[in-house]
Amino acid sequence: MAVINKPAGILVSGNSFKTIDNALEQNITKSNLPDATRPRPVHRLDYPTTGLLLVGKTSASILALNKLFQNKEIKKAYFAITTGSMPKEGKIETNVDDKKASSTYTVLESVPSKKYDCLNLVKLFPKTGRKHQLRIHLATIGNPILGDAEYGIEGLIVKGKGLYLHAYSLSFIHPFTNEKMNVMKDLPTKYSKIFSSLL
């Protein structure tokens, strides 16, 4: 298996030619195990989201990783910058696409902002994996993610900087070695331009 750092502005998979799925074969060393297969992402990240993406390189690992996701045995943490004043921590359980969805968050730091009242550096823990879950959840409490053109507040959407949502860590038990895996990827530099504590 492999973990890659997905850049913003690329689909993980789909009908487009320019996808992570299509790029993996040229960019990842093939497994030397007998059931080696074309490397495949085993979960999704939104087009504008950056960060960690788990990839299976053998038939057995793709099956095992999919099972870990189904059983909610892979813990994910994200960082986002949200707009507007918000409580220091909370749980959001608004349904997404008529399905139960649950996320928790902690505000690590807030800075004043003329345009948004304040900007918050937030750590997020999705308990379910619905499409656009974190973006929808934060928008429903009135604190959309900075740069979210789809769920942001009309007239308050920052253009040209992308979405401030980053898949920061993946924690799980390796399905073959039973080793505790905890992979993290630092935030892109654009976050430290707003929160100097990240420098």
Class of residue 66 by CB neighbours under 10 A (exposed 0-12, middle 13-18, buried 19+): middle
Among residues 20, 15, 4, 47, the alpha carbon closest in space to that of 148 is found at 47
Report in angstroms the alpha-carbon separations of 186 from 98, 113, 117, 167: 33, 24, 27, 9
Q: Which residue of the set 46, 97, 98, 186 is catalytic?
A: 46
Active site residue 148: no
With beta carbons less than 8 A apart as the criterion, state whether 81 and 122 touch: yes
What does the alpha-carbon distance between residue 120 and residue 144 come to, in Å, rounded to a whole number?
Answer: 10
Report in angstroms the alpha-carbon separations of 12 from 46, 53, 86, 131, 173: 8, 9, 31, 13, 24
Greatest alpha-carbon span in the chain: 59
Positions annotated as catalytic residues are: 46
